[in-house]
């Protein structure tokens, strides 16, 4: 006799219920970067739009930043930590191979026995985590899911590399995803282009450093122009597909929150997508730098806190980066 498996009983839909962020206390202006590279403040601003960034101190670990951001997100969602059924952390800068940093965060936050795991999807990591969280809530495996994007990219920055020294920064952003009676997170348009994996990568594997094959600690490197062209032309197409999948148009949007990689990329995408003037565009990169998986929730929190976006607004979010990977969706802001 073949047993019949009972269907999962989850929520009809899922939504973002609360958001929180943490930026390290140390603010690093371009002038400090210029001590290590032959460049200028004007050049950095014109190429990236970045004026300052935040770098973490010794006590501002991946776990501590995540806990600070998560505490805000949970409080804003109006739930208790023990109601969280899963913790999903996107990061490339937790240097312990195992256990996942998510397990420590879940325990210290007081979630009880929540499922906990890390994902590695670079600057698209928040979008990947959001997609997983939505599935868990709708499928019924967790009523509430905590999604965290966190990075200490200053640990992976080569300050002598003129092409990347000014880009990367540290911080954490988190959201709580929970049940909804109406659609509030659209279909995800996500994917990868592994043939371009070398365009953004770590300089050498960890074992090369361990075995003494190289003396310099691994760092991040990228082919700037290739990344720029790919992001501007290909990611605008992905963003458009996300709008179509959600059944909305650019005119329906209130907010656009792209990965905060580079101001020129953001402005080019706005132009290519032909976003109306009423759409608020996140440009957090100017003072926060590129925080990879943390950039979208950090930008989302800042827009809401500043009153530039409000609860219930329709937002297009898109992340893209090393892999090359990408993820875009339309969400209703908490």
- Which residues participate in catalysis according to the annotation? 123, 259, 290
**Tokens found for residue 268:** 């080019």
Place of tokens 């879940």: 106
126 and 173 Cβ atoms separated by less than 8 Å: yes
Number of C-beta neighbours around residue 43 at 10 A: 15
Buried b (16+ CB within 10 A) or exposed e, 182-196: ebbbbbbbbeeeeeb
299 sits in the region (left: phi over 0; alpha: psi -120 to 50; else beta) called alpha
185 and 134 Cβ atoms separated by less than 8 Å: yes
Helix or strand or coil: residue 189?
Answer: strand
Distance of CA 311 to the CA centre of its chain: 20
Pairing of strands 314-321, 255-258: parallel
Helix or strand or coil: residue 44?
Answer: helix
Strand partners, 189: 328
CA distance 126 to 168: 17
Number of C-beta neighbours around residue 97 at 10 A: 7
Find the DSSP H helices in the chain: 30-33, 41-48, 62-77, 101-109, 125-139, 206-210, 224-229, 235-246, 263-273, 285-288, 295-306
Helix or strand or coil: residue 64?
Answer: helix
């Amino acid at each position: 006799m073949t047993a019949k498996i009972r269907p999962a009983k989850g929520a009809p839909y899922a939504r973002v219920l609360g958001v929180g962020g943490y930026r390290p206390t140390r603010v690093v202006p371009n002038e400090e970067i210029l001590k290590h590279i032959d460049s200028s403040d004007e050049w950095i601003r014109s190429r990236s739009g970045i004026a300052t960034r935040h770098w973490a101190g010794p006590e501002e670990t991946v776990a501590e930043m995540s806990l600070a951001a998560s505490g805000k997100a949970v409080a804003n969602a109006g739930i208790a930590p023990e109601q969280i059924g899963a913790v999903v952390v996107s990061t490339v800068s937790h240097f312990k191979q195992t256990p996942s940093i998510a397990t420590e965060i879940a325990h210290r936050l007081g979630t009880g026995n929540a499922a906990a795991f890390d994902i590695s999807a670079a600057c698209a990591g928040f979008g990947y985590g959001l997609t997983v969280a939505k599935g868990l809530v709708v499928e019924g495996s967790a009523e509430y899911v905590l999604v965290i994007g966190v990075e200490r990219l200053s640990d992976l920055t080569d300050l002598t590399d003129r092409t990347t020294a000014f880009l990367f920064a540290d911080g954490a952003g988190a959201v709580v995803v929970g049940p909804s009676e109406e659609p509030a997170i659209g279909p995800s348009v996500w994917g990868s282009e592994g043939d371009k994996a070398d365009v953004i990568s770590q300089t050498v594997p960890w074992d090369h450093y361990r075995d003494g094959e190289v003396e310099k600690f691994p760092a991040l490197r990228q082919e700037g122009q290739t990344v720029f062209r790919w992001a501007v032309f290909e990611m605008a197409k992905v963003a458009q597909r996300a709008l179509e999948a959600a059944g909305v148009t650019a005119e329906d949007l209130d907010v656009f929150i792209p990965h905060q990689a580079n101001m020129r990329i953001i402005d080019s995408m706005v132009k290519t997508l032909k976003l109306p003037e009423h759409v608020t565009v996140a440009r957090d990169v100017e003072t926060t730098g590129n925080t990879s998986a943390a950039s979208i929730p950090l930008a989302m929190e800042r827009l809401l806190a500043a009153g530039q976006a409000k609860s219930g607004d329709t937002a297009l979010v898109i992340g893209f980066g090393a892999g090359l990977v990408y993820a875009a969706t339309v969400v209703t802001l908490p």
